[in-house]
């Protein structure tokens, strides 16, 4: 079976490798570097940068642990960015090595599906090529959203794409959007010495997360001297005397060296002739069934271009589902347990429904909360900021939860499994958890749901 994948991001490249493993003759069409947004201008570079600021935090706190560090402590911004670039380069090369080992072919260019099912590829070197596959996977990803009111120039007014390749940290930065990207980049730049202001239109930062989670992160931001304005929209933006100036709904005027627009991303589908192909779509998102199959049986769509969470791990799972279905396996997608991760300090992670969503839907629930302050491991490691919250419905089934604190994104794995498999708080709470660990907080929170937590009053 000949399979062509348009896009080499975390959905596309995973799908391509799996298709090759199942015996497919696979070609990936990608105009840029392998790994897509996630690897090149998203997940990986931001985590590399945050790892550097995390080491800075450790160095600054060394004295609390009886460790003496002499000399000046600070971030070498160009060195941080050079390390980030090296990490990205190594991972891109890793994907290319996997392709070579599995026999996956690569065409460098932009491909579009033609009526009749062939694919026309405009090659980066100026040539063109036509492919005639049996199956097609659309994995073309997304682009940053920049409303017309922002005079985007890639210099003074930037997106995350440019922010990840700055040569120096700006003296001041306004970030429009307090979601995941805005919070992660905002905290990094604040630790790099930038005066950061975040403007979020919703009542709190991380608007899709639990209010308690947002409050915990907001407290950390205050320690980082990040100015956060919530419940406010930008009504005017202009460049005045070389600086970016914005006006908020309340009349407040803010000014900074640069402005970073982080209000979301949009599906990269405008260049695809969806209507001509008979592919159903809505608001730029391609409509698919539980197998990631479009209205055209030989065409599948995955990742940011379909109506699911714009997350790399979701795209990868969708790619696996699409490939295994096209090769005759009974595979469908489940979004019940989709983990959400924010790599700030403290880390934030969530899965399933939030407490506010349960309340809005009128669903009866019980909550169990346990703070890291009560953990021996947290005390010993000096990482007592944070908590675990678990939500169970009236049948004791775990329907959601969140973790704030050290290694929160790792600790979420057990809770994600519980939500996906619809396990009960009693079932998971009975599992013996290792001591001393941070994951004991989950066990304690599960016990708290039933009023049986021995380490909390």
Residues identified as active-site:
435
Peptide bond into 346 cis (omega under 30): yes
Euclidean distance between the first and final Cα of the chain, in Å? 62
- Cα 397 from Cα 437, distance rounded (Å): 25
- Helix residue spans in 177-301 (DSSP H): 180-191, 211-223, 274-277
Name the residue among 378, 66, 56, 327 with its Cα closest to residue 190. 56
- Cα 35 from Cα 319, distance rounded (Å): 14
How many C-beta neighbours within 10 Å does residue 70 have? 5
At which residue do the structure tokens 């929170």 appear?
445
427, two tokens: 């079932």
Give, for 391, the enclosing helix (H) or strand (E): strand 386-393
- Cα 109 from Cα 106, distance rounded (Å): 9
- Cα 4 from Cα 111, distance rounded (Å): 10
């Amino acid at each position: 079976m000949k399979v062509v994948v348009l896009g080499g991001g975390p959905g596309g490249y995973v799908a391509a490798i799996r298709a090759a493993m199942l015996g497919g003759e696979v070609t990936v069409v990608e105009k840029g570097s392998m790994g897509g947004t996630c690897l090149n201008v998203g997940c990986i570079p931001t985590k590399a940068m945050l790892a550097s600021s995390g080491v800075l935090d450790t160095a600054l706190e060394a004295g609390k642990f009886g460790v003496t560090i002499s000399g000046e402590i600070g971030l070498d911004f160009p060195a941080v960015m050079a390390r980030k670039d090296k990490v990205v380069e190594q991972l891109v090369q890793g994907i290319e090595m996997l392709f070579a080992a599995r026999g996956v072919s690569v065409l460098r260019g932009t491909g579009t599906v033609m009526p009749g099912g062939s694919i026309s590829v405009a090659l980066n070197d100026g040539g063109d090529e036509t492919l005639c596959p049996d199956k097609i996977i659309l994995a073309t990803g997304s682009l940053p959203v920049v409303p017309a009111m922002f005079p985007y120039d890639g210099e003074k007014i930037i997106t995350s794409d440019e922010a990840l390749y700055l040569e120096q940290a700006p003296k001041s930065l306004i970030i429009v959007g307090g979601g995941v990207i805005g919070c992660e980049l905002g905290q990094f730049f604040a630790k790099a010495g930038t005066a950061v202001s975040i403007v979020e239109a919703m009542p709190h930062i991380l608007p899709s997360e639990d209010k308690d989670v947002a409050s915990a992160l907001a407290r950390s931001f205050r320690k980082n001297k990040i100015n956060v304005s919530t419940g406010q929209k930008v009504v005017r933006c202009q460049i005045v005397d070389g600086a970016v100036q914005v006006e908020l709904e309340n009349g407040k005027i803010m000014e900074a060296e640069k402005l970073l627009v982080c209000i979301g991303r949009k599906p990269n589908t405008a260049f695809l002739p969806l209507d001509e192909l008979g592919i159903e779509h809505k608001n730029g998102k391609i409509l698919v069934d539980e197998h990631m199959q479009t209205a055209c049986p030989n065409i599948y769509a995955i990742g940011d271009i379909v109506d699911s969470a714009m997350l790399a791990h979701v795209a990868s799972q969708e790619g696996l589902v699409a490939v295994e279905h096209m090769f005759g396996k009974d595979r469908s997608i489940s979004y019940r347990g989709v983990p959400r991760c924010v790599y700030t300090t403290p880390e934030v992670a969530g899965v399933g429904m939030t407490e506010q969503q349960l309340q809005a839907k009128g669903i009866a629930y019980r909550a169990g909360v346990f703070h890291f302050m009560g953990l021996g491991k947290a005390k010993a490691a000096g990482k007592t900021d944070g908590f675990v919250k678990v939500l169970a419905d009236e049948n004791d089934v775990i329907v959601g939860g969140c973790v704030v604190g050290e290694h929160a994104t790792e600790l979420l794995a057990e809770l994600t499994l519980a939500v996906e498999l619809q396990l009960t708080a009693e079932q998971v709470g009975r599992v013996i958890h290792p001591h001393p660990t941070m994951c004991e907080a989950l066990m304690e929170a599960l016990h708290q749901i039933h009023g049986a937590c021995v380490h909390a009053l």
